[in-house]
């Protein structure tokens, strides 16, 4: 999740908000918050390979 500058939000609050819109089994077990924007490739799409590597790095730390 990319938060706007100065915004505070908790994982529990996000999961609670999702319960009204998404089936319980579709809610992720872990949610990472980022202050910087998601990485993008030249076409403007999210760079999923770089994002996956960044998430794995966070998981291993």
pLDDT of 31 over the 90 cut: no
Domains defined for the chain, CATH in brackets: 11-60 (3.30.300.30)
How far apart are the C-alpha atoms of 13 and 3, rounded to whole Å? 14
How far apart are the C-alpha atoms of 41 and 43, rounded to whole Å? 6
Q: Is 27:19 a contact under the CB 8 Å cutoff?
A: yes
pLDDT by residue (tens digit) across 8-20?
A: 888 898 899 899 8
How far apart are the C-alpha atoms of 26 and 34, rounded to whole Å? 21
User: Which pLDDT value is given to residue 45?
Assistant: 96
pLDDT of 57 over the 70 cut: yes
pTM of the predicted model, to two decimals? Answer: 0.58
Q: Is 30:42 a contact under the CB 8 Å cutoff?
A: no
User: Which pLDDT value is given to residue 58?
Assistant: 79
Question: Which residues, 6+ apart, have CB-to-CB distance to 48 below 8 Å?
Answer: none
């Amino acid at each position: 999740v990319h938060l706007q500058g100065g915004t505070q939000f908790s994982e529990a609050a996000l999961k609670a908000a999702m319960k009204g819109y998404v089936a319980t089994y579709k809610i992720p077990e872990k949610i990472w918050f980022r202050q910087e924007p998601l990485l993008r490739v030249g076409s403007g799409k999210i760079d999923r390979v770089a994002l996956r590597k960044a998430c794995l790095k966070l998981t291993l730390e």
